[in-house]
Structures are given as structure tokens and as C-alpha cells.
């Protein structure tokens, strides 16, 4: 199938109009004045989507700019590109693959896509998805019912770690059958050794999570875990090891017979909805995991069908382009006001920066504009006592995303109002600022933020919120004309590390640059 092309954003008429708009009113736009003068601003810049409400009104954007950004989306062919994804076209051109993670959360009966869809192949894929899902959820329930298994150790990295780890933490309140779930990702042996010191072979289930079953870190940890298991007298590998992978043959060759598969049309950073989500299913049970998928599916349908002007992932993606390419903001802060979402910034880092951290377009042409911002953050209120100083008074303007959850899952009194008050107050302070002649106590204000509200943190709302981000990254990537679904930038370091590992053993520094050679010698022995 041909790779569908979007028109790159800088080659549209709207791009020039946006540049003019920025020069005329965008650069000097003041959200405070806009909120004072425009009674309809909050309503116009409020957007509900499944399980998620977003207030965009504190952002540096007005109605004419948003209208131009929507024209940009139309001229780029955003809707066509989105539909190409939803019909299974090979939009991951450099790897000649379809991008169909949304299929993992589609109910068995429904049928997404336009008339152009090849129904048989999609129906076949969906059938495979549900056969695997059912088997995986049966297995999750079996593990949950097995009182002898007290510890689950997930060994995986990147997309085979960050998503499941983030979601298991986030949904801790729904983990009705308590198991300790450990995540080992780093090749740094301290991590695995620390976990192994706490578990016993007869009570432990190791999940080896790797799309390729070839990633150095994961294979090194898996090999050490297997050796430890045997050395500790462990028996019955089939019961104590399971592999989550597209490469079932490699898992079998490694000696693991219990496997749950997925497919090459699921990118690693989009794989928590597949067998890679098994730790989540073990934590929250089959029903909880189905709820997680259902929430994401509801967001898929919103993205697929809502008009662009009322489509939350589209509006966020357009704002991202406005901030990155016109305001020139280079970073974005994620501030979840919920301690269980503490791994969310790390998860979003991979999602957005591995997807859109590209300097060439899908055709390999150098881009004349910036792409992915740096994403970073920590939960509030902790962040207020760490990095918020810079957000309020630093030299750079950094858009902030507040994620507030209305209902708490605990019964402690007084905490939730304080937490929510702080989230609101920080967004307010960033926007309003405070005039002070003294200099040090002056807050410039007009610092933009988006405020998300979830009614409560459930499998459904978490699924929807993550899918919202996935689609928003799709939107900015599509407008920039890049392939958001490959990650060639991770390859060079992997190749060099192999070479250097050999040299660390032998001390051979021939042909190395002087700095690396000197450091290698310092680290040897
Ligand atoms: O190194 C980057 C990467 O390829 C990610 O995209 C991926 O999520 C991670 O490595 C792990 O890969 P795998 O699941 O194949 O072990």
C-alpha cells in the first residue's frame, strides 16, 4: 500500500497567515485581557471528550488563531492522514508498517473505518486481537487466583516498561488482589539484584516483555533472572516465566513456552494495550483491563469522528504546533495533581519525544522548523517546592499541563480540597502574575497552562487520557510531516555500545576519539 502523504505544514497558505497572525497579535497576546474582555472565552476554549474535560482558556490563543490552525489542519490533510491510520494504511513508511494500536482496544463486534477499509484483513486482525486478549486475561485471572505467586517481576524497557509501570501505579486503588509487581528495566544490575534479593523462585512470576525479544537490556536481565531462578533451585519454568512479544520463536528458543503475542503494527510505545499490558491485567483483573481498553476506545472514536474544531486531540495538537513553531517554546511541563500519576511524565516523554523527536520529514528532507518539545514534570504539589519557581519567574515561558482528579479514592479528610486548591492556584498564579516594583517579588504572569479534569482516576479514565495523548502526538507529527512511528535515532548508540563493550574487556582504544578513549581507560579494570 502506498504511504499516504500529508502536505507539510510550512507548505500551506495557512502557515504564512499564521506567521502574519503571530506578528500582528500572537506575540503580544495577553490571556488575562482576553479573559476579562471576552465573556465567551472559557466556554469556547473548554472541551469535553470521553472521561476528560479540558480548559484551554489560559492558553495564548484566540479565536482567529484557532481558526487559522484549523485551516492549517485541513490544508495539511490531517483528517485524511488520520483516516489512513484508521483504515490500516502503511503510514509508518520507513518500516513499511500499518499503525493500528487502536485495534487493540476495539470491541469485537464494532467495525471502525471508512468504506476504503479492507474489511477482511481488519476483521482477521481483530479476531486475533480478541483471541489473544481473552487468553491473556484468563491467564491474568489464573495468576491472581494463585496464592503461591506473591511477586510479579516485569522485565522490559521503553514501551515494554514505562506504560505498564505507569498504569499499575496509577490504578493501585483498583488492585483488589494484592500482588507485589516489580519493574526491572535498566541493564544496571543494581536494579535486578535489588528485586531478586526480595523474592523467592517458588513465589515469583517473571514476565519477559519485549516486542523484538532482542533488546540488550531486557535479554541481559532475562538471562540473569533465569540463571538466578535455576541457582535458587527453581523448577517449572513454564509456570514461573512468561514472554510478551511479537517474536514468539525467540522466546521459545530462550526456553519460555508460556507466551502471549502481538503484531508489528503495534509500536513499542503504543503497546500497553496488547500483551505488554499483562502486568496491568494482573493488577486490576480482566474486568479492569477491559475498562482500560474501553476508555481508550471511546477516545479513539472521539478522535475519529468529532469535527476538528471540537476534537480534543486535534485542538491540543494544533496548540502544540502554535507554541513550538510560532511562540518558539521548547519544552512542556506535565504536572499531575495525583501522586499515583507520578510515572506519567516519564511515560509521556517516550510517547512524544520518541515519536516526534525528528529533524527530517517522512521523505527524509531536513525540516526548517522545530518539532517535539522536551516533556518533563513531577506531580504537584511536590513540584511547587522544586521546579515551579522557574515556571513563575524564569526567563523561559513553559506551558504547563495540570491534570486534576476530582474525586479521591481515600477517606482522609482535608487533603483533596488542599490538593485541588493548589492546582487551581498555580494555574491562576501563572496566568495572573503579580506586579511588584521590587523586582524579585514580581511575577510576570501570562504564562500559559491547560487544565485537565478527570472525574475520578479509573481504568476507563486512564485509558481515555492516554489515548488522548497518543492522538495529540499524531496530530502534531502529521502537521510536521514526520513519521511519528519509527525511532531510528536510538540505533547509533546501541551499535557503538556493542563495540565499546568489547573494548572495555580488551582495553583496545585504537581508532577511538580521544575523549572516549581516555574515559574508557579510566573505567576499565
Ligand atoms: O530503543 C527504543 C525501543 O525500540 C523502543 O521504541 C521500545 O519501546 C524499546 O526499545 C523496547 O523494545 P522491545 O520491546 O523490543 O524490547
* Cell numbers 519477559: residue: 208
Q: Among 280, 262, 254, 281, which Cα is nearest to 211's?
A: 262
Distance, CA of 468 to CA of 403 (rounded, Å): 13
- As a whole number of angstroms, the distance between CA 164 and CA 169 comes to 8
pTM, 2 dp: 0.96
| Spatial contact of 438 and 46, defined as CB atoms under 8 Å apart | no
- With a 6 Å cutoff on the Cβ, whether 490 touches ligand 1 is yes
Q: Is 392 in the active site?
A: no
Atom of ligand 1 nearest to the CA of 215: 16
Q: Report CA(37)–ligand 1 centroid distance (Å).
A: 49
Nearest to 260 by CA among 274, 280, 250: 274
Per-residue pLDDT of the chain (525 residues; tens, 9 = 90+): 344 568 999 999 999 999 999 999 999 999 999 999 999 999 999 999 999 999 999 999 999 999 999 999 999 999 999 999 999 999 999 999 999 999 999 999 765 554 445 567 899 999 999 999 999 999 999 999 999 999 999 999 999 999 999 999 999 999 977 799 999 999 999 999 999 999 999 999 999 999 999 999 999 999 999 999 999 999 999 999 999 999 999 999 999 999 999 999 999 999 999 999 999 999 999 999 999 999 999 999 999 999 999 999 999 999 999 999 999 999 999 999 999 999 999 999 999 999 999 999 999 999 999 999 999 999 999 999 999 999 999 999 999 999 999 999 999 999 999 999 999 999 999 999 999 877 899 999 999 999 999 999 999 999 999 999 999 999 999 999 999 999 999 999 999 999 999 999 999 999 999 999 999 999 997
Catalytic residue from among 111, 127, 198, 385: 385
In degrees, to the nearest 5, what angle opens at C-alpha 217 toward C-alphas 354 and 519? 90
Distance 20 CA to ligand 1 centre (A): 41
Q: In 382-507, which ranges are continuous DSSP H helix? A: 388-393, 415-432, 459-480, 491-506
CB of 212 shorter than 6 A to ligand 1: yes
Distance from the alpha carbon of residue 494 to the mean position of ligand 1, in angstroms: 11
What the block records as the C-alpha cell of 164 is 505498564
Atom of ligand 1 nearest to the CA of 157: 11
**First CA to last CA distance, the chain:** 53
- Atom number, ligand 1, closest to the C-alpha of residue 159: 8
Where are any strands of DSSP class E within 341-447? 374-376, 400-407
Q: Give the three-state DSSP class for 232.
A: coil
By most ligand atoms within 8 Å of CB, the mutation choice from 97, 159, 219, 346 for ligand 1 is: 159
Residue nearest ligand 1's atom 10 by CA: 158
Does ligand 1 come within 6 angstroms of the Cβ of 157? yes
- Residue 354: active-site member: yes
Nearest by Cα to 9 from 356, 364, 18? 18
Q: Supply the residue whose CA is at minimum distance from atom 2 of ligand 1.
A: 490
- Choose among 403, 511, 494: nearest CA to 457: 403
Active-site residue identified among 66, 89, 354, 470: 354
Contact 271 CB / ligand 1 (< 6 Å): no
C-alpha cell, 180: 507485589
**Is residue 152 helix, strand or coil?**
strand
434 is catalytic: no
Mutate which of 210, 211, 243, 266 for ligand 1 pocket (most atoms within 8 A of beta carbon): 211
Pocket flag, ligand 1, residue 210 (CB < 6 Å): yes
Scanning 151-263, the segments in alpha helix (DSSP H) are 162-170, 189-196, 216-231, 237-240, 248-254
* Helix, strand or coil, per DSSP, at residue 252: helix
From CA 416, how far away is CA 173, in angstroms rounded? 16
Helix (H) or strand (E) holding 128: helix 119-145
Q: Are 324 and 373 in contact (CB under 8 A)?
A: yes
Residues 111, 407, 494, 498: which is the catalytic one? 494
- What is the sign of the dihedral through the CA atoms of 242, 243, 244 and 248? negative
- Whose CA is closest to atom 8 on ligand 1? 159
Place of cell 502526538: 473
Coil, strand or helix: which one is 4?
coil
Amino acid at each position: 500500500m502506498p504511504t499516504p502523504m500529508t502536505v507539510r505544514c510550512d507548505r500551506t497558505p495557512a502557515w504564512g497567515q499564521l506567521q502574519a497572525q503571530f506578528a500582528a497579535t500572537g506575540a503580544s497576546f495577553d490571556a488575562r485581557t482576553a479573559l476579562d474582555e471576552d465573556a465567551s472565552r472559557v466556554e469556547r476554549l473548554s472541551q469535553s471528550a470521553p472521561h476528560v474535560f479540558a480548559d484551554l482558556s489560559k492558553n495564548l490563543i484566540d479565536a482567529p488563531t484557532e481558526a487559522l490552525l484549523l485551516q492549517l489542519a485541513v490544508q495539511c490533510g490531517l483528517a485524511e492522514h488520520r483516516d489512513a491510520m484508521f483504515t490500516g494504511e502503511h503510514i509508518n513508511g520507513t518500516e513499511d508498517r500499518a499503525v493500528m494500536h487502536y485495534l487493540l482496544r476495539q470491541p469485537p463486534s464494532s467495525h471502525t473505518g471508512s468504506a476504503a477499509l479492507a474489511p477482511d484483513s481488519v476483521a482477521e486482525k481483530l479476531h486475533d486481537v480478541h483471541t489473544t486478549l481473552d487468553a491473556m486475561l484468563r491467564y491474568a485471572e489464573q495468576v491472581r487466583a494463585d496464592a503461591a505467586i506473591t511477586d510479579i517481576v516485569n522485565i522490559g524497557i521503553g514501551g515494554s516498561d514505562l506504560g505498564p509501570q505507569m498504569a499499575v501505579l496509577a490504578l493501585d486503588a483498583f488492585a483488589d488482589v494484592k500482588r507485589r509487581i516489580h519493574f526491572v528495566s535498566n541493564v544496571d544490575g543494581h536494579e535486578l539484584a535489588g528485586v531478586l534479593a526480595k523474592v523467592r523462585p517458588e513465589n515469583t512470576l517473571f514476565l519477559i516483555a519485549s516486542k523484538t525479544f532482542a533488546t540488550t537490556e531486557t535479554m541481559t536481565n532475562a538471562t540473569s533472572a533465569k540463571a538466578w531462578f535455576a541457582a535458587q533451585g527453581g523448577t517449572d519454568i513454564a509456570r514461573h516465566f512468561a514472554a510478551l512479544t511479537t517474536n514468539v520463536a525467540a522466546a521459545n528458543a530462550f526456553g519460555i513456552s508460556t507466551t502471549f503475542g502481538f503484531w508489528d503494527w503495534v509500536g513499542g510505545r503504543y503497546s500497553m494495550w496488547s500483551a505488554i499490558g499483562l502486568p496491568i491485567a494482573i493488577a486490576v483483573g480482566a474486568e479492569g483491563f477491559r475498562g482500560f481498553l474501553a476508555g481508550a476506545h471511546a477516545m479513539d472514536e472521539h478522535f475519529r469522528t468529532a469535527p476538528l474544531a471540537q476534537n480534543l486531540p486535534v485542538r491540543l495538537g494544533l496548540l502544540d504546533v502554535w507554541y513550538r513553531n510560532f511562540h518558539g517554546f521548547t519544552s512542556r511541563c506535565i504536572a499531575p495533581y495525583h501522586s499515583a500519576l507520578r510515572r506519567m511524565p516519564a511515560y509521556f516523554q517516550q510517547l512524544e519525544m520518541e515519536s516526534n523527536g525528528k529533524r527530517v520529514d517522512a521523505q527524509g528532507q531536513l525540516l526548517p522548523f522545530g518539532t517535539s518539545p522536551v516533556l518533563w514534570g513531577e506531580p504537584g504539589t511536590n513540584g511547587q517546592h522544586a521546579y515551579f519557581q522557574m515556571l513563575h519567574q524564569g526567563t523561559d515561558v513553559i506551558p504547563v499541563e495540570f491534570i486534576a482528579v476530582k474525586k479521591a479514592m481515600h477517606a482522609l479528610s482535608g487533603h483533596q480540597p488542599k490538593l485541588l486548591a493548589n492546582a487551581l492556584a498555580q494555574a491562576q498564579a501563572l496566568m495572573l502574575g503579580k506586579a511588584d516594583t521590587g523586582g524579585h517579588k514580581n511575577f510576570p504572569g501570562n504564562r500559559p497552562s491547560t487544565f485537565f479534569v478527570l472525574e475520578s482516576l479509573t481504568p476507563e479514565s486512564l485509558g481515555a487520557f492516554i489515548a488522548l495523548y497518543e492522538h495529540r502526538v499524531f496530530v502534531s507529527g502529521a502537521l510536521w510531516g514526520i513519521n511519528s512511528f519509527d525511532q531510528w535515532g536510538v540505533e547509533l548508540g546501541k551499535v557503538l555500545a556493542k563495540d565499546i563493550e568489547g573494548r572495555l574487556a580488551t582495553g583496545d582504544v585504537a581508532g577511538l576519539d580521544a575523549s572516549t578513549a581516555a574515559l574508557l581507560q579510566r573505567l576499565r579494570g
